[in-house]
Amino acid sequence: MPASPPVRFRRIALIGRPGGPGTVPIAALAAFLKARGHDVVLDVDTASDVDAEGVTVVPVDDLPRNIDLAIVLGGDGTMLSAARRLAPFDVPLIGVNLGRLGFLTDIPLARMEPTLAAMLGGHYTEERRTLLVVTLERADGSIATAPALNEVVVNRGGLGSMIECSVDIDGRFVYAMRADGVIVATPTGSTAYALSTGGPIIAPEVPAFALVPIGPHALTHRPIAIPDRSVVAITVSRGRDAAVHCDGQAHFELAEGDRVTARRAPYTARLLHPEYHDYFAMLREKLHWSETPERLHPPEPR
C-alpha cells in the first residue's frame, strides 16, 4: 500500500479579530482542518472568543515560531495586523473575507472549505507584498519605529487646521507644502486611503511607492510614483496636533520639528491566493468597473 503524501502546511494558525464576527467560522474551520490532518494553532487573543477542541493555544508573541501557515478570518484590517506580525518570519497568509471590500482577504466565506481544500492540496498562487519600515525621530532625540503594509500617513489632527511639512527623497529636497497631510503608500496601500485622495493604483509587482498629498492648499501638488528603493522623509514644520499613522493601526502624535522616515522593509509579506486569482479581475469586482449606474443603483420597485 503506497504511503500517504505528507500534509502540506502541517501547523496552521487561525487568526481573527477579538470580538469580531469570525468566532463560528474559526471553530468550524478548526474542525475541518483537523479532519484533514493539520495541527491547528490559535493565539490567546483569538482563542478567548472561540469554542474549539483539540487546538494548541500559544502566546501572541510565540505564534510566528510555531506555525507553517496562517489563515486570517476577517476584513483587510485584520489581515494588515496579521501580516505585519508574521512577515518578518516569512509565514505565508491566506485571507477569508468577513469584512466589506476584501482586497487582501479574497476567499468568500461561502466558498471557504472547498477553496481551502484545493489550496492546501497545492493549488494556489503566491504573491510577495512590499512593506514599509517607518521611523519617527523626535526633536528631543527619541526614536520610535513601526511597520506598515498599506501606508504611512502624516496628517492634521482634530483641531482642523492644515499642517506645514517638507518632503525629502533620498536626502534631496522635493517640496514644502500646506495640506491636510501626505501619504506614502505601497502597491498594496494604493487601493486604500491613497486611492480616495486621488493617488494611482499600483499593481503589486511594480517596485514603486506612491507619494500622495491630502488636500494640498496649492493644487499643483500632485501624486508622484517613486522607486521603492527610495527613502522618504517628512518633517513637520508647523502643526499643533499633527500625527503619524501606520496602516491606521499604529499612531504617534507629532510635534513641530519631528521627522518621519519611510523606507522599504528588508522582508515581504507572503500572500497565498486561490489558483484562479487575477489581480485585475479582483479590482474589477471590488471597484465595480463593469457596473452600469442602473446595476449599481437599481430603481425602486413600484
Superfamily the domain 11-122 falls into: Probable inorganic polyphosphate/atp-NAD kinase; domain 1 (3.40.50.10330)
For the purposes of burial, counting CB atoms within 10 Å of the CB of 286, is it exposed (0-12), middle (13-18) or buried (19 or more)? middle
- Residue 239 pLDDT: 81
- Range ranked top by mean pLDDT from 7-16, 154-163, 202-211, 218-227: 202-211
Report the pLDDT averaged over residues 212-219: 92
How would residue 135 be classed by pLDDT, with cut points 50, 70 and 90?
very high
Contact 81, 93 (CB under 8 A): no
pLDDT at position 292: 66
The 10s digit of each residue's pLDDT in 276-288 is 899 999 999 889 8
> Model's pTM, two decimal places?
0.90
Lookup: cell for 202: 499600483
Tell whether the model's pLDDT for residue 5 goes beyond 60. no
Catalytic residue among 39, 76, 180, 258, which? 76
Q: How far apart are CA 54 and CA 51, in angstroms?
A: 10
The 10s digit of each residue's pLDDT in 27-80 is 899 999 999 999 999 999 888 878 778 899 999 999 999 999 999 999 999 999
Long-range contacts from 45-54, C-beta under 8 angstroms, 24+ separation: 45/18, 46/14, 46/15, 46/16, 46/18, 48/18, 49/16, 49/18, 49/19, 49/20, 49/23, 50/14, 50/16, 50/23, 50/26, 51/23, 51/27, 52/26, 52/27, 54/30
Cβ atoms of 196 and 157 closer than 8 Å: no
- Name the CA dihedral angle for 123, 91, 281, 133, rounded to a multiple of 10 degrees: -160
Report the first-to-last Cα separation within the chain, whole angstroms. 67
Weakest mean pLDDT among 48-57, 77-86, 162-171: 48-57
Topology annotation, domain 131-266: Tumour Suppressor Smad4 (2.60.200)
User: Which residue type is seen at 116?
Assistant: L
- Contact of 71 with 96, CB cutoff 8 Å: yes
What pLDDT score was predicted for residue 4?
46
* Residue with cell string 502624535: 253
DSSP letter (8 states) at residue 222: -
Strand ranges across the sheet with 243-246: 224-227, 208-214, 181-185, 151-155, 243-246, 250-253
What pLDDT is stored for residue 278 in this prediction? 93
In angstroms, rounded to a whole number, what is the distance separating the alpha carbons of residues 220 and 99?
A: 36
Looking at residue 247, its pLDDT comes to 96
Model confidence at 301, pLDDT cuts 50, 70, 90, reads low
Alpha helix ranges (H) inside 128-233: 193-196
Could you tell me how far CA 265 lies from the centroid of its own chain? 14
**Mean pLDDT, residues 186-202:** 96
Domain positions in the chain: 11-122, 131-266
Residue 76 annotated in active site: yes
**pLDDT-derived band of residue 2, with 50, 70 and 90 as boundaries?**
very low
pLDDT above 60 (res 3): no
